[in-house]
Amino acid sequence: MEGDRYTYRVTWSAEDGEYLGTVAEFPSLSWLDADEDEAFRGIRRLVRDVVADMEDTGEPVPEPLSQRRYSGKFQVRVTPEMHRRLAIEAAEAKVSINRLVNAKLSAG
């Protein structure tokens, strides 16, 4: 089922005093429930209903993040000073800036 391929998350909402189910591909949708599992089931049911309605009306349905193809490239703008520091650190490590930044991101 298409709705099962979306990116769901359930977190505790201190403001609401309940669990909050959300889905990344539909940022305007959410589901509150006192039970964590029910919050997950609720947001999944809601997404299935919304997707079915969108399909019935001919609206474009968001593609699940899990189905998208990624190039492995993205651009990040940094200050000239940060660029200089990265270039020096990469040169000292005898690697490209790209490899240096990739290692830093991978280290989390």
pLDDT tens over the chain, length 108 residues: 455 799 999 999 999 999 999 999 999 999 999 999 999 999 999 999 999 999 999 999 999 999 999 999 999 999 999 999 999 999 999 999 999 999 999 997
For 99, the token pair is 């490899």
Same structural domain for residues 56 and 13?
yes
Measured N-to-C along each axis, helices 97-107 and 80-93 cross at an angle, to the nearest 10 degrees, of 90
* 19-23 contact pairs (CB < 8 A, 24+): 23/47
- Regarding whether 57 and 24 lie in a shared domain, the answer is yes
pLDDT at 4: 78
The pLDDT of residue 27 is 96
Q: What total number of domains does the chain contain?
A: 2
Residues whose CB falls within 8 Å of the CB of residue 34, separated by 6 or more in sequence, listed in order: 18, 19
Same domain, 43 and 75: no
Decide if 80 contacts 36 (C-beta within 8 A): no
Do 88 and 103 reside in the same domain of the chain?
Answer: yes
Instruction: Give residue 83's domain range.
Output: 70-107
Q: Do both 9 and 61 map to the same domain?
A: yes
The amino acid that residue 78 corresponds to is: V
* One domain for residues 49 and 94: no
Q: What pLDDT does 108 receive? A: 78
82: three-class secondary structure by DSSP: helix
Q: Dihedral angle at the C-alpha atoms of 22, 26, 29, 33, nearest 10 degrees?
A: -20
Task: Return the CATH number at 44.
Answer: 3.30.160.250
Domain co-membership, 7 together with 54: yes
